[in-house]
Amino acid sequence: MSVQDRFIKYVKIDTTSDPASETFPSVPEKELPFADMMADELRAVGLSDVVRDVNGYVYATLPANLPAGDDESAHPVLGLISHMDTAPDAPGAGINPRIIEDYDGAPIPLGEGLVLDSENFASLKGHVGKKLIVTDGSTLLGGDDKAGVAEIVTACEYLLAHPEIHHGKIRVAFTPDEEVGRGVDFFDVPLFAADFAYTMDGGKLGEIEYENFNAAAGSVDIKGLSIHPGSAKGKMISAVEVAMEFQSLLPAFEKPQHTEGYEGFTHLISCEGTCDRAHLDYIIRDHDHALFEKKKAFLFTIADFLNKKYGDGTVTVTTADSYYNMKEKVEPYMFLIDLLKESCEELDIAPIVQPIRGGTDGARLSYMGLPCPNVGTGDYNCHGRFEYVCVDEMEGAVKLIVKLAEKFGKLSK
């Protein structure tokens, strides 16, 4: 089966994860059946040791295929990882992908009055003459990360069909709930038993990423003093107005819409409140750990200022770290990046080494003892209705996995 056909098959199945859920996986009635299907697919392709565990993780082995007399144990085990859930930022049920066979550069009507065009989405300029898959405007596409899932399965199928390509043992894993930050909460690193791994998770073909944000969540609870407005003078403290003041005290240009590259941000993702009570939710991001800590600390500084102004206990801040920059854990193994760059160049793919303005399962796995850079899959504008994939790049990603597997088979431990 082609990577295109696999991808279309996978995205038509709703696996939207839910950040508000207290179960794991977050939406078991959606995610577990898809995990079962993927386990069956891997068995059908010919992989061994296929396991779908109680938490919805799928693990499998592509056995080593080395020249006669070559000891498998002398070579590192390569891991390939993608996530099965899709983001809750846009609808993920009833996905109706549409193929653009030979993109001519013109605006693409999606439906529901939406138009995908190069004026707003510059990546399209590089895809003239390419085959694209787009949405119908009512949902996201699911390329994040079913493009990666389809590419890994297709590459494994290709390697099994071409025994002349020698490679060491390869471990495959598909995870649930990456999009809600829980993708490796129960990942069994000892069971996976790979020495090094790569996530195939979004972005332009050729993207190589081993730096990501340090990430934290911040919560702000505000207690007001609700008094009848007719007699409120000198007494009322409006919690929702204090919340607005809290937000106004954050640096105006340290927001996502004003930052790029290595620049971090503090982003208000939700706000609710009345005169009596208010609540703010933030995400805090920065590549630099010292600046990351400074951003978190500044939330407490604002709270201290407002508590002096309105009274102790008016504002309470809590923060919780989510993941850290994998750079520290990958840099001792820079051959992982060198192998990717070499593989790209040999396939006439331009390698693009850049930081991730986000995170992947690989960031947390790197801190769990499994160094795990990220590789681009050909997916663009993820998490929204303007998402699309370039089929040519997905096919290129399959070739890149095959080339990487071949190179890993020549490495010595």
Q: pLDDT tens-digit profile of 75-120? A: 999 999 999 999 999 999 999 999 999 999 999 999 999 999 999 9
Q: How confident is the model at residue 359 (pLDDT cuts 50, 70, 90)?
A: confident
Length of the chain: 413
Q: Are residues 96 and 176 in the same domain?
A: yes
Q: Please confirm, yes or no, whether 178 is among the known catalytic residues.
A: yes
The Cα 343–Cα 336 span in angstroms is 11
What's 186's DSSP letter?
T
Which of residues 70 and 78 earns the better pLDDT score?
78
Q: Are residues 348 and 313 in the same domain?
A: no
Is the pLDDT at 360 greater than 90? The verdict is no
Structural domain containing residue 112: 3-212+325-408
The Cα 107–Cα 35 span in angstroms is 36
Number of domains in the chain: 2
CB-based contacts of 350: which residues, under 8 Å, 6+ apart? 206, 344
High-pLDDT (> 70) share of the chain, %: 100
- Give the pLDDT of residue 326: 96
- Catalytic residue, chosen from 14, 178, 209, 221, is 178
Mean pLDDT of 387-399: 98
Q: Which of 323, 358, 390 is the last residue of a domain?
A: 323
Is the pLDDT at 215 greater than 90? The verdict is yes
HSE-CB of 142 using CA atoms within 13 angstroms: 29
The Cα 229–Cα 214 span in angstroms is 44
Q: Are residues 219 and 308 in the same domain?
A: yes
Q: Which of 273, 297, 323 is the last residue of a domain?
A: 323
Q: Are residues 58 and 146 in the same domain?
A: yes
- Give the pLDDT of residue 388: 98
Q: Please confirm, yes or no, whether 85 is among the known catalytic residues.
A: yes
Q: Which of 323, 351, 384 is the last residue of a domain?
A: 323
Mean pLDDT of 139-151: 97
Domain of 206, CATH number, reads: 3.40.630.10
- Give the pLDDT of residue 278: 98
- Catalytic residue, chosen from 14, 31, 85, 151, is 85
Q: Are residues 93 and 238 in the same domain?
A: no
Domain annotation covers residue 338:
yes
Of 259, 256, 243, 258, the residue nearest 299 (C-alpha): 243
- The tokens for 342 are 């070499």
Domain annotation covers residue 141:
yes
Q: Are residues 289 and 334 in the same domain?
A: no
Q: Are residues 259 and 370 in the same domain?
A: no
Q: Are residues 236 and 133 in the same domain?
A: no
- Give the pLDDT of residue 184: 95
Alpha helices in 238-352 (DSSP H): 239-248, 289-310, 327-330, 335-346
Q: Give the global pTM.
A: 0.91
